[in-house]
Chains A and B, each alone.
Chain A
Amino acid sequence: MLTIETLQENGHDILFLKGEVDASNSVILDEAITKLVTAGSSSILVDGTGLEYISSAGLGVFMSYLEDFQEKEIDLKIYSLSDRVFEVFKILGLDQLMQIYPDKKTALLA
């Protein structure tokens, strides 16, 4: 089960992920990001506080945007991941490719 809430705050679009992202629902995450890009967002923050699990289907969604975001100078930052979810990003080396921060404050200052 995955729910995503979005919030606009000082020019940033925040996605609050709650639950588990797997092959059955990663399309929801994809659509949420696409929607923000289409609306012209230049800064997307992903709040991972409520993210309990993410499989390669969800990680792949983030990966598929990285190149375009670099070209279009759209910021994508993830913060407040639990240790076990962050470990999965690290296994793949995504911590080197993506902007991941311990909390919202650090993400905003970076």
Chain B
Amino acid sequence: MSLGTAAREADPAPAATPGGAGVTPAPPAVRRISLLTRFKRDKSMLIMTLPAVLLLVVFAYIPMAGNIIAWQRFSPYTGFLHSPWVGWDNFARVFSNPDFINAVQNTLTITVFQLVFYFPVPIVLALLLNSVLSPRLKTSIQAIVYLPHFFSWVLVITIFQQMFGGAGLISQVLRAAGREPLAIMTDPSTFLLLITSQSIWKDAGWGIIIFLAALSTVDPAQYEAAAVDGAGRWRRMWHITLPAMRPVVILLLILRLGDSLSVGFEQLYLQRDAIGAATTEVIDTYVYFQGVQYGDWGFAAAAGLMKGVVSLALVLGANKLAHVFGEAGVYKRS
């Protein structure tokens, strides 16, 4: 025990070099302390991570290994280990399936549409809020717009239904005025607009908070110096505010890119009946219905696995790209 304490004291204090985990000048120290000593020293630390690691192994890693059924004609009765192997058959079926292709197309359409019409909204709103001078007004509005982020999708869609549905508040007003009630909650042609406005209503506040946090790190002296040098408010925004937001914008773009194959599963699942399967089918809902509903397990797992692999490649690729352009990205190279 005393040896362990001494060794720890001999180690450079970890807090003195934050983020320097990759460059610990540890080798001589490690050689001096045996594995057993280190284990004894750090036993309690290891025990503390154990419950979380166990949960991840059981509920994340074993299912990951369960993806082997993508190469099987899986049946729940024969199980993971005894179902017949079919090679790449399931993958071939996925690729030649027009419904899957349709689901991929829908997914990408929604992603691109939301990237154009949803992604800039929190940025603009954050700039707007940032220009509000009264701290009290600013925090109240922030608190209000952030609230729906904590609502469930069921609640959000029910709220939309009560406002914009055929029997909702706005339809009531229209009907009272002798007009036709709204049909946007069930109309496939305005569906992209509908789900994007739902996403904005629910999550734009979350984005605002992140961007405002980024803006709060800007030294006010920069604005003052720029103003003294004759820069107007728009030029200050262009040259100070926007550059301060850039790393966060890039970070969120990367995360969005990695997520581009998963669009609002619950949101679409919940509105499938109202709007129709053809328009709302995305990769995730397709996988769910093929597997859990129709029992084509191997096929559904193959489709899901491909999505997972492509998403992983997308996020790693985007991160690489960010590094190439000299940005921090999601994680640092170490």
A and B physically associate: no
**Interface of B with A (CB < 8 Å)?**
none
A contacts, CB < 8 Å to B: none
